[in-house]
Amino acid sequence: MPKLKPKVSKINEAVERAILKLLKDVMDNKSSSLIDKTRVLDRALKLEAIKARLTDDDEGAFFKDDPEADDATE
């Protein structure tokens, strides 16, 4: 049985570091508005969602071999 290679994040590390730095800087800045903080937080959460999707390629794979799954759609 061949060994599986570990998943490699396809997100550019420089982009990830930039978003995390922006998040830290905006949250630490007392003059940043709530809208600015919310936007940066939203970007960070989207990044985490993308990373989760990249690592969950086999999500729902068990439905492919489940004969009952086909019956439910009919």
Domain annotation covers residue 64: no
Domain limits for position 45: 13-53
Q: With 0-12 CB in 10 A as exposed, 13-18 as middle and 19+ as buried, what is 23?
A: middle
Q: What percent of the chain has pLDDT over 90?
A: 39
At residue 1, the pLDDT reads 53
Query: Number of structural domains, the chain?
Result: 1
Q: Give the CA angle between residues 6, 9, 12 to the nearest 5°.
A: 150
Residue 23 lies in a domain: yes
Is 73 inside a domain boundary? no
Band of residue 58 on the pLDDT scale cut at 50, 70, 90: low
Q: How far is CA 49 from CA 5, 33, 56, in A?
A: 22, 24, 11
What is the structure's pLDDT at 54?
78
In a domain, 74, yes or no: no
- Cβ atoms of 37 and 27 within 8 Å: the answer is yes
- 51: how many CB neighbours lie within 10 A of its CB? 15
Average pLDDT over residues 46-59: 77
Overall pTM surpassing 0.75 (yes/no): no
